Structure 1
Amino acid sequence: MNDLKWVRLTISTKSEAVEAISYALTNIGIPTIEIDDPNDIALTMEKKNKTDWDYIDEELLKNKDTDEVHIKAYLPEDTPYEEKIIQIQNSLNHIKQFLDIGKGTVKTDILHEEEWANSWKKYYKPLKIGKNILIKPSWEEYTPRDDDEVIIEMDPGMAFGTGTHETTSMCLELIEKYIAKGDVVFDIGCGSGILGIASAKLGASSVIGVDLDANAVKVAKNNVNSNNVQHIMKLYEGNLLDVIDQKADIVVANIIADVIIELSQSVLEFLKTNGLFIASGIIRERLQDVKEAMDKNGLDIIDLYEKGSWCALAARMKE
């Protein structure tokens, strides 16, 4: 059997630009990414205490610039990757107009498949979010602390969305706060499926997840099956709300401000009376733009969370 080799494109950036760059990579046809963010490790270590897990390897933070994040995109060796590098650089030039992207450099190297297939696992550990949500990778052992704990087993498999990033954790907290037993939930741009799986485990009767990225849908399906919620959550590859023809109690979108602004124009068509739109991935500098779009399109913001440089909100139809 031939040893498959991959081209690794490593983008040096900052935490606040991770969501926007990841979304841009998906749009230019690069679904397989790895995010190496020292801040995610530090965040998990901060959350540790003597009643929690204590097996984060602190060596992972040694000799790392905690201000620098590496987004690694992987392409088969026979891909015309020079064209992709140009597209990436154009995307970075656009994103840096409204976000600090740090160095914004793109480095290229070649490696064997086995070298990257499992390397990211060392950065992904159990994490408590909200009141009762516990995100656990399948390869880690974990004993539930109490009966109310909602354990979500996640293998991101290079699809963005592990729960560690502020935008994802805020979404999970808002879902936990507002979901009611029997709710119908739509997860727009579902990535790894984490938000939909959490909704299913928190009592939703039906969850639909959609994503443009075929790889993300594949990974999400694996995660759905691992969590035994396949009877509740269905996944589709498609362009946001184009594949949905029903209404939900909650629509959740963890994307970027521009897409949320666009969604605000049509989301009410997909919400039941008193339905809730939970939106995250909003960089603080774009929050006012999102607020104005919500107001213009008949949505009242009823809750707002802020973590680091990011914001998430919950909105309902104006009375």
Structure 2
Amino acid sequence: MKWTEIRICTTHEAVEAISNILYEAGVGGVAIQDPEDIKIQQKEQGSWDYIDENIWEKVDQGVYVIGYFPETIDLLEKINVVKKRIKDISKYGIDLGIGEVTTTEIYEEDWTTSWKQYYKPIKLGENIVIKPTWEKYTSKEGEKIIELDPGMAFGTGTHETTKLCIEFLEKFMKTGSCVLDIGTGSGILGITAAKLGASKVIGVDIDPLAVKVARENVCFNQVENIMEIRQGNLLDVVKEQGDIVVANIIADIIIQLFKDIKKFLKGDGIFIASGIILGRLEDVKEACRKENIKIVSIKVMGEWAALCLTLA
């Protein structure tokens, strides 16, 4: 299958706005590629290199927001609309930076192969190791191994937002919990919950490709009896209540989830909300106040924040 990759070189400040533009144009997910992530990871005690440094020597300074469009009749029109809307961002006082927009045709097989040069085993939190299915790794005592092949779904564990979610899951997961993973992507967070002792996990994603990849990753990790993947928009396909609800998306969608979260979170449950760029943190906190949601803890890593929330 052929896809068109759209890549925007910008600033941290503009990531949220550009991500929204891409989502509204119909991409299945958005990836953030930031050279600063590599520097942060290398400074963390106990971490190891998971990306070939030679690759990053070729990357210009700046943050890249990346999305993938399937080949459709109106593809050119969509891309032109995206370019125009991104150009208009500066009118709202947002620093767009370089603002360069490039597109590349890519086949799914080529994309998956190219990912392998970037993606190596990485330890997150206390005991979670994310391991590509094609890599060898000898586990150490106490470690829980998550086998992952991201395919063209997003969520590899290398981004701060995913790391923050996993740290919260390790802290708050109880054996036998029911977990809802909203915007599951590759399934990484739901699979982590299953490995940490959840008795039931429901992963939801609107993108059919993400659903396919997540189901494959569930099988890789042999948690089919625990984790179910459903295709749908946010919580539309969920009837259950979770002890933990985790959503690693973007600030606007998290704020949207606040309006309905009480239907899907048990009274003493935990809502882990991530994917929040620091420039939108105050907006999310204000939305919590309006919906009478209590902030238990806030974690920050790089330019990103994650919140642990309960029903007040």
Q: TM-score under structure 1 normalisation?
A: 0.87
Q: CA deviation at 1:72?
A: 5.3
Q: Runs of 5+ in structure 2 lacking a partner?
A: none
Q: CA deviation at 1:264?
A: 1.1
CA separation of 1:28 and 1:105: change in aligned 2, threshold 3 A: same
CA RMSD of aligned residues (A): 2.7
Partner SS for 1:144: coil
Deviation string 1:136-172 (CA, Å, 9 cap, x unpaired) is 11111110121x1111111111211111111111011
Q: Runs of 5+ in structure 1 lacking a partner?
A: none
Is 2:58 the counterpart of 1:63?
yes
Equivalent residue number for residue 269 of structure 1: 263
Single out whichever of 284-293 and 306-315 deviates more from structure 2: 284-293
Partner SS for 2:235: helix
4+ runs deviating over 6 angstroms: none
Q: Aligned partners of 1:216 and 1:114: how far apart in 2?
A: 15
Amino acid of the residue matched to residue 187 of structure 1?
A: D
Equivalent residue number for residue 26 of structure 2: 29
Single out whichever of 178-187 and 63-72 deviates more from structure 2: 63-72
Equivalent residue number for residue 130 of structure 2: 135
Q: Aligned partners of 1:15 and 1:26: how far apart in 2?
A: 17
Is 2:35 the counterpart of 1:38?
yes
Partner SS for 1:313: strand
Q: CA deviation at 1:224?
A: 0.9
Equivalent residue number for residue 68 of structure 2: 73
Q: CA deviation at 1:75?
A: 3.7
Single out whichever of 286-295 and 60-69 deviates more from structure 2: 60-69
Amino acid of the residue matched to residue 118 of structure 1?
A: T
Equivalent residue number for residue 204 of structure 1: 198
Q: Aligned partners of 2:246 and 2:12: how far apart in 1?
A: 22
Partner SS for 2:255: helix
Equivalent residue number for residue 92 of structure 1: 86
Single out whichever of 192-201 and 290-299 deviates more from structure 2: 290-299
CA separation of 1:256 and 1:31: change in aligned 2, threshold 3 A: closer
Partner SS for 2:286: helix
Q: Percent identity, please.
A: 50
Asked whether the equivalents of residues 44 and 127 of structure 1 are also in contact (C-alpha less than 8 Å), the reply is no
Partner SS for 2:269: strand
Asked whether the equivalents of residues 257 and 281 of structure 1 are also in contact (C-alpha less than 8 Å), the reply is yes
Asked whether the equivalents of residues 19 and 65 of structure 2 are also in contact (C-alpha less than 8 Å), the reply is no
Q: CA deviation at 1:118?
A: 0.9
Deviation string 1:249-270 (CA, Å, 9 cap, x unpaired) is 0111111111111111210111
Q: CA deviation at 1:25?
A: 3.0
Q: Aligned partners of 1:214 and 1:95: how far apart in 2?
A: 30
CA separation of 1:186 and 1:293: change in aligned 2, threshold 3 A: same
Equivalent residue number for residue 163 of structure 1: 157
Amino acid of the residue matched to residue 314 of structure 1?
A: C
CA separation of 1:129 and 1:23: change in aligned 2, threshold 3 A: farther
